[in-house]
């Protein structure tokens, strides 16, 4: 059983991307193949072809007084009974759902899970260092045409900066409209090599930056904890940023490959 650890998700100067209709071209999002289209940011972004982001899940907060759990963060399935999200997305009572496209329609392919255990890795809520949370599901997921784990990177899968990656989620679609998206959306972003320059030294070696120098494409509120996929591998977890899609302020992601050994160790030693 994992140890449930309390972590705060607020920061004085920097914002997380958890939550406190647009009709567009379809964006294909798959571990095995991705078709890139001209895409705007997830803010007003591109609707994903249903069930092609088979690894994508949502965290649902169980809130007293509400009849149904409320979606607020993303997550990624990485093994049949394990998912990964951002540590700042922790809530005292939460569930997970996979096989989801429209969060507010019962489409018949959803798989819901309670939480069996949670592991965090020395998360610092002030700096957002180690913003990663490993979640053990209450039961194994059924792997099928709608649900499939993402692949974790390894030494034979080098990360190339300025690679085009894909970030997905159900976050807000406009800075001026706090309503999250009903349908899963995605956008292509580029990895940055000089992120320290934009964030005054706050970005460390456990973080990645992705976006566009002149803004316009980014994750935002409600996308926290979701996947950044590069070349078919899970390379990042949506973590934080200054507002969303601003010029010279790319999104900041937890660098998954720094934690792969820890992830495998936890999964192997959990009991």
- For residue 261, report the phi and psi dihedrals to the nearest 5 degrees: -60, -40
Annotation marks residue 131 as catalytic: yes
Catalytic residue among 15, 16, 181, 224: 224
Contact yes or no for 170/74 (Cβ under 8 A): yes
Cα separations in angstroms, 99 against 34, 52, 107: 18, 10, 9
Q: Sign of the CA dihedral 50, 241, 258, 123? A: negative
What's the number of CA atoms in the CB half-sphere (13 Å) around residue 175? 10
Q: Sign of the CA dihedral 243, 245, 246, 248? A: positive
Catalytic residue among 121, 131, 168, 239: 131
Quick one: how far is CA 254 from the chain centroid? 10
Quick one: how far is CA 199 from the chain centroid? 21
Annotation marks residue 163 as catalytic: no
Contact yes or no for 74/238 (Cβ under 8 A): yes
Catalytic residue among 27, 88, 101, 121: 88
- How many CB atoms neighbour CB 262 within 10 A? 14
Annotation marks residue 15 as catalytic: no
Spell out the residues 6+ positions from residue 58 whose beta carbon is closer than 8 angstroms to its own: 71, 73, 74, 75, 96, 97, 100, 103, 170
Question: Across the chain, where does the E strand assignment appear?
Answer: 15-16, 26-27, 46-48, 56-61, 70-79, 82-85, 94-98, 111-113, 115-120, 133-137, 164-169, 172-174, 177-180, 185-191, 207-211, 227-230, 233-241, 251-255
Residues taking part in catalysis: 88, 131, 224
């Amino acid at each position: 059983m994992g140890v449930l650890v309390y972590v705060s998700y607020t920061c004085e100067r920097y914002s997380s991307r958890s939550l406190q209709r647009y009709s567009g071209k379809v964006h294909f999002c798959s571990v095995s193949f991705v078709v890139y289209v001209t895409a705007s940011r997830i803010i007003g972004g591109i609707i994903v072809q249903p069930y092609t982001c088979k690894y994508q899940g949502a965290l649902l907060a169980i809130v007293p007084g509400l009849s149904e759990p409320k979606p607020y963060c993303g997550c990624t399935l990485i093994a049949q009974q394990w998912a990964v999200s951002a540590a700042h997305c922790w809530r005292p009572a939460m569930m997970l759902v996979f096989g989801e496209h429209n969060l507010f329609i019962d489409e018949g392919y959803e798989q819901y899970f309670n939480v069996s255990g949670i592991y965090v890795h020395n998360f610092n809520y002030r700096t957002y260092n180690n913003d990663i949370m490993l979640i053990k599901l209450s039961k194994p997921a059924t792997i099928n045409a709608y649900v499939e784990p993402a692949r974790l990177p390894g030494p034979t899968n080098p990360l190339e900066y300025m690679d085009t990656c894909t970030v997905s989620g159900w976050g807000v679609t406009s800075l001026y409209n706090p309503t999250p998206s009903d349908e899963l959306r995605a956008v292509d972003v580029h990895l940055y090599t000089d992120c320290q320059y934009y964030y005054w030294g706050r970005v460390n070696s456990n973080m990645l930056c992705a976006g566009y120098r002149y803004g316009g494409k980014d994750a935002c509120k409600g996308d926290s904890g979701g996947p950044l996929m590069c070349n078919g591998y899970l390379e990042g977890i949506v973590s934080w940023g200054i507002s969303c899609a601003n010029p010279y302020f790319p999104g900041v992601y937890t660098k998954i490959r720094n934690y792969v050994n820890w992830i495998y160790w936890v999964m192997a030693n959990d009991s």
